[in-house]
């Protein structure tokens, strides 16, 4: 039987015609099935391409936003440094201004105190002069009343000198 199977020509065998029918069916049906499958695969490939393009566009946008955010952060950092520098300069200026004002106030108070001391000294000198004039006037009047003489002059001078502290205490 083996020999017989090898001697047949392929078209005389029934499985050959089944194979031919399957191939014809596959060709005819394959065209009708392949077109939708190809269309479906093309649509899928197009959706993948679109998704990749969208991802690339979104990546570019994200990179642009990142660069913009970094630029804003750098600008904000620079602005903060400038604000700190100006605040330090303003604080130093105000400190110097307040020190100068305090120094001027201290000088003004010192001047007023010196003026008060000078006025008090002038008043004390005036009071001492007035007391000395009163003592001298009283001594002169007594000398004139008692008369002049060497023995009495020494006693009167000693008495006038001794009365100076008492007169100063009364005047002060």
Q: Are 156 and 146 in contact (CB under 8 A)?
A: yes
7 pLDDT tier (thresholds 50, 70, 90): low
Average pLDDT over residues 12-24: 86
Helices (H), the chain: 2-7, 14-146, 150-171
Distance of CA 50 to the CA centre of its chain: 50
| Euclidean distance between CA atoms 124 and 120, whole angstroms | 6
Average pLDDT, the chain: 85
Burial class (CB in 10 A: 0-12, 13-18, 19+), 80: exposed
pLDDT over threshold 70, residue 132 = yes
User: Phi and psi of 9, rounded to 5°?
Assistant: -85, 150
Q: Whole domain around residue 101: which residue ranges? A: 2-171
> Does pTM surpass 0.75?
no
Residue corresponding to tokens 């008060």: 116
Sign for the pseudo-dihedral over CA of 14, 19, 20, 24:
positive
48-70 pLDDT, tens per residue? 999 999 999 999 999 999 999 99
- Domain tally for the chain? 1
In tens, the pLDDT along 68-100 reads 999 999 999 999 999 999 999 999 999 999 999
DSSP three-state, residue 172: coil
């Amino acid at each position: 039987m083996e020999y017989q199977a090898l001697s047949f020509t392929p078209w005389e065998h029934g499985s050959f015609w089944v194979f031919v029918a399957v191939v014809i069916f596959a060709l005819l049906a394959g065209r009708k099935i392949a077109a939708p499958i190809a269309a479906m695969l093309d649509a899928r490939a197009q959706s993948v391409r679109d998704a990749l393009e969208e991802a690339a566009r979104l990546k570019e946008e994200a990179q642009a936003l990142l660069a913009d955010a970094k630029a804003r952060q750098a600008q904000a950092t620079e602005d903060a440094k400038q604000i700190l520098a100006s605040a330090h300069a303003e604080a130093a200026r105000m400190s110097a201004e307040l020190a100068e004002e305090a120094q001027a106030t201290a000088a003004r108070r010192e001047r007023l105190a010196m003026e008060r001391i000078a006025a008090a000294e002038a008043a004390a000198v005036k009071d001492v002069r007035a007391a000395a004039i009163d003592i001298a006037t009283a001594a002169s009047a007594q000398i004139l009343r008692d008369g002049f003489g060497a023995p009495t002059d020494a006693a009167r001078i000693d008495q006038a000198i001794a009365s100076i502290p008492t007169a100063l205490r009364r005047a002060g």
